[in-house]
Structure 1
């Protein structure tokens, strides 16, 4: 199994405000869908609850929560990191999609990062991606910068692999 993370970060590693993401960039959302469709996505309870229509289609959804008896329609629910890794053991690729605590917990086991780096600092950010030691990662591909027509935000894509 390849453990991957996919995330949009601002210049301060901000990824969210409260239970919402910082920015909605149409091309980034399409990239997320294209990369994750057909694979398993792993997320925390708050990330699952922030999905506007619940479980994402054409993907196996796995939700990690400490809440006993929690139900997530259309998703498998687990209560620990070990349980999450065990349930995904036979999967080809698993994308960790948030939130902040889940990224922090899985980062040491992650082999691939799919970053959308937004050239902006969101002062309202309350949730952050963990600090990366760039010496541990190899930049395999970079695209951009691009500018989102609707928000005018500049961003680029970076695909990194653990050395």
Structure 2
């Protein structure tokens, strides 16, 4: 299964200057719970925004057109087809985690959307690509807890294709 997993603000912002525009520990915890013991696919810029540190207990796949790119502890792939072949053979879930171009590459291949919707507006320079929401059905929502560490109201949402 291929799933998208991302957090966005009201305007669709998902990043700013290579990092998340907000600090929301609940979302980081959700991300970890969803992806643990699975595969995560991200672009080179997203990976480098994480200080080139692979996420532990996950298969980290970096998608880049740079054929000479190497990083420790990750699989480097160079095409959408290479990732799709991996996902087809892989017994776990494959999570597409960003950035915007990587989401765009897999828009026609995704089975499930996991979105953290943050009720706020942040400075952003990277936005989630346009999604045809008519194709998707909201199947689960969970209100995020706002507290002294999680200052922004947020909701965890799961969508499935209408025909599945």
TM over 0.5: yes
Aligned residues between the structures:
161
**Matches of 2:143 and 2:59 in 1, distance apart?**
30
> In the alignment, which residue of structure 1 is the partner of 2:126?
127
SS at match of 1:66: coil
Listed one character per residue, the Cα deviations across residues 99-120 of structure 1 (whole Å, up to 9, x for unaligned) are: 1110111122101011100001
Unpaired segments of 5 or more residues in structure 2? none
SS at match of 1:147: coil
Question: Would you say the 8 A contact 1:148–1:154 is kept in 2?
Answer: no
**Matches of 2:84 and 2:10 in 1, distance apart?**
30
Unpaired segments of 5 or more residues in structure 1? none
> In the alignment, which residue of structure 2 is the partner of 1:137?
136
TM-score normalised according to structure 2 size: 0.92
Matches for 1:12-51 after TM superposition, within 5 Å = 12-51=11-50
SS at match of 1:41: strand
> In the alignment, which residue of structure 2 is the partner of 1:99?
99
- Pair 53,65 (structure 1): closer, same or farther in 2 beyond 3 Å: closer
Structure with greater proportional strand content: 1
TM-score normalised according to structure 1 size: 0.93
Question: Would you say the 8 A contact 2:19–2:50 is kept in 1?
Answer: no
